[in-house]
Structure 1
Amino acid sequence: MEDRSVNNEIRNFVAKNIINDFLKDGDKFYEKEFLINKFRVNPSYVDKTYQRLLDEDLIEAKSDYYYMKIDESKKNALIVEFANGYLNDFLKNMNSIGISNEGVYDFVSLRMRANG
């Protein structure tokens, strides 16, 4: 998962909390101050993340605050997004030590058989 921007760090924190069921549909979203303090960022970064989450339809604005807008298809899409990112990172690291993608497959197959 290459992009390490503050906006992506906050968004990925939220996404992982959705995947792990710490944030569920209808839950009140994190207070702005919580995210500012947790990530030690300027409030404008949190505002950008709020807008991104609104654009991705993961939160919705109501009259009093922001609330989670999650269903299984959104959660599954996040799982696939992270799994693909982790797999790409893994392949890139294995390639960097001279193991081809086919070699990675063979290596993982052997490892799986060894682990039962």
Structure 2
Amino acid sequence: MSATSIIVSVAVVAVIIGVIAYTRSYRKRGVDEMHANGVKVQGRVVDVDKRRQMISGEIQQYATRTFEVVEFTTADGRVITAPASNASKSPRLNQSVTVFYDPADPQQFVVD
């Protein structure tokens, strides 16, 4: 393998790692923002939604991620039932959870 091939390979790997790190950081900022600015209510996990999602666009890797489907009532009395924005490693079916939702769009929420 030539020196140029090695440099290009290392650069491609570095870019992929950078994209993955940025994506994780971006998601965490969204969760942090929802905690800071969202409305806090109690909800209940009523179902589990498993989705196959692309985790890397460059090499098209996929993973199955699990999202808790949560039901909660907004401050103005609307009942929302939808998958949480953040994935869960161990779903808590039929358990009470803390929800932080966007008052302008309650379908956008995260679960603690």
Q: Which interval holds the TM-score relative to the shorter structure?
A: under 0.3
Q: TM-score, normalised by structure 1?
A: 0.27
Higher percent of residues as helix: 1
Higher percent of residues as strand: 2
Q: TM-score, normalised by structure 2?
A: 0.27
